[in-house]
Structure 1
């Protein structure tokens, strides 16, 4: 009996020891599990942060792209829309043997008439002969006009018609090179001709006090006196000359010169 009892006791010793180790094993398992869980969560947070950072970078890049697109859109020009708005205010001028272009602008004329701007050299033939009367033509209609102001140095002249014509708006600030422009006039007598380009430079030539706008929109004889307008159909200059032995080099008297000379803007 004692032998059996001793064997039973011996057999129960390991079992008792295993039961006593279970809490430690369980704690170890829990620690390992928590460690894995924390590591997994840390990895997920890191991945999420990277995604957020990437999304932020993409959003920033999209914002920059949007700003650039808005800048480009603001610097584009709808030539057809501008021409449609400008043409009713532009006339062919017949002055003796000369022909050019004029456009309505400025303050109301006396007795409800309209002032029109052109180049002095367009009306020079009439002035040299002591006259002051010219003809304005638009859509086969002729209107009489009188030369009321002239500035030979600036190559500008103002006409006055008794009719009321729609007037063009004047741009009151300087333009910058690269700005889009539209020119409307009657080159070689071809009324309502439209060309477009950009401002190439702002120049002040030696010996001249006037400010000149250089642009690359094509012009020809007959365009003289026509309006050079910006993307909003506002006059920035008066087309006056081109370089004959080169392409895309035209010049306009800055409209500010006309405003200074005649105080009609």
Structure 2
């Protein structure tokens, strides 16, 4: 499939439509925005999403990751176009939808504290709901440039990937997570971040190889490494091993590699960034493994280093690694 057929160009009219209507904003605008929100169904889980062009839906990466047989709405098959695992963004290609979807408008300006917000989505895979709240805080990630909007509006399971809009129906963010153990504490990725990274992701797709498009394989080297770790953390060892080059597989047979992993149960990526060389990627992550199942003993280590990738069959494959354990020793009380 040619890249041009994926309708990658962002609609200029949607780009320009960032100003509120001439009349006062109200519930009519929220209702209009709701019509551009969809349910994203998969074999393993459901989530929410919204149209950013007439043929592209934005949602969370964790909604589509390891979740085959994706559909938007009831009947429209969806293909993963591009993902950003670290920032939890995914773009889905959904062609030939009729009537043509209306993309949501976004606003680059960050909301202010105590501004009204509306979370629109499909909690637990059910009917569309709208939850009202306010901006409780504006926060930054501890490790990089990620910006989040904290809100007390309800963000339930299944609402992930849905838009967070202002009273004019403009997207200010995308619902991504809630804080476990706390009531009315939810987070949204700021639209200014979503917009800039969407542009970058689409440009990468435009330059992808036929093999990458056919296999929906990441065409960005950093995303190849990120997908490797998310796949490894999901326990899908055979799929993770397939990110290795033929040369690395020859040096490290699957059985030896799998046995050497121990009982890793969770991997949290902190950052995945381009390395100093054109085919290298820097990574920083935490890995938790089971020490004793009977006593529920776990151990978490911190790691960072570099991967070198090689081009193989039109795909980027992970070839050499230099990963170091930088875990700080625990001190006795």
Residues 76-95 of structure 1 correspond to what in structure 2 (within 5 A)? 78=26, 80-95=27-42
The answer on 1:170 being equivalent to 2:97 is: no
2:62 equivalent in structure 1: 121
Question: Is 2:143 aligned against 1:202?
Answer: no
Mapping of 1:150-169 within 5 angstroms?
150-162=83-95, 163=97, 164-169=100-105
Equivalent residue number for residue 262 of structure 1: 198
Residues 124-139 of structure 1: matches in 2 within 5 Å?
124-126=65-67, 134-137=70-73
Q: Runs of at least 4 residues of structure 1 off by over 6 A?
A: none
For 1:191 and 1:185, locate their aligned partners in 2 and report how far apart those are by CA, in whole Å: 8
- Pairing partner for 1:102 from 37, 45, 49: 49
How much has 1:208 moved relative to structure 2?
3.6
- Quote the residue 1:147 is aligned against: 80
CA contact (8 A) 1:95 1:125 kept: no
Task: For residues 174-228 of structure 1, give each alpha carbon's deviation from its aligned partner in whole angstroms, at most 9, with x where no partner exists.
Answer: 2111111111101111221110011111101212431111011011100000000
Structure number having the greater strand percentage? 2
TM alignment of 1:1-265, pairs within 5 A:
78=26, 80-106=27-53, 113-126=54-67, 134-137=70-73, 141-162=74-95, 163=97, 164-263=100-199
**Relative contact order: is structure 1 or structure 2 higher (C-alpha 8 Å, sep ≥ 6)?**
1
- Looking at structure 2, the residues matched to 193 and 238 of structure 1 have their Cα atoms a distance apart, in angstroms, of 15
In structure 1, how many angstroms separate the alpha carbons of the residues matched to 2:170 and 2:188?
Answer: 14
SS in structure 1 at match of 2:106: coil
Distance 2:80 2:187 in 1: 23
- Separation in structure 2 between the aligned mates of residue 166 and residue 186 of structure 1, nearest angstrom: 18
Unaligned 5+ residue runs, structure 2?
A: 1-23, 203-333
What is the CA-CA distance between 1:81 and the residue it aligns to?
2.2
Tell me the secondary structure at the aligned position of residue 193 of structure 2.
helix
Do the aligned residues in 1 keep the contact of 2:106 with 2:170 (CA within 8 Å)?
yes
**Partners of 2:136 and 2:47 in 1: how far apart?**
23
Matched residues in 1 for 2:152 and 2:25: separation?
Answer: 15
Normalising by structure 2, we get a TM-score of: 0.50
Cα distance in 2, alignment partners of residues 205 and 152 from structure 1? 15
Count of residues paired in the alignment: 174
Question: How far apart are residue 165 of structure 1 and its match?
Answer: 0.7
Distance 2:108 2:141 in 1: 22
List runs of 5+ in structure 1 lacking aligned partners. Answer: 1-75, 107-112
Q: Which protein is richer in helix relative to its size?
A: 1
Larger Rg: 1
Q: CA deviation at 1:96?
A: 2.4
Measure, in 1, the Cα distance between the counterparts of 2:133 and 2:29: 13
State whether residues 30 and 167 of structure 2, in contact with CA within 8 Å, keep that contact through their aligned partners in structure 1: no
Distance 1:199 1:122 in 2: 24
How far, CA to CA, are the matches of 1:152 and 1:249 in structure 2?
22
The root-mean-square deviation of aligned C-alpha atoms, in Å, is 1.7
Give the C-alpha shift of residue 99 in structure 1: 0.8
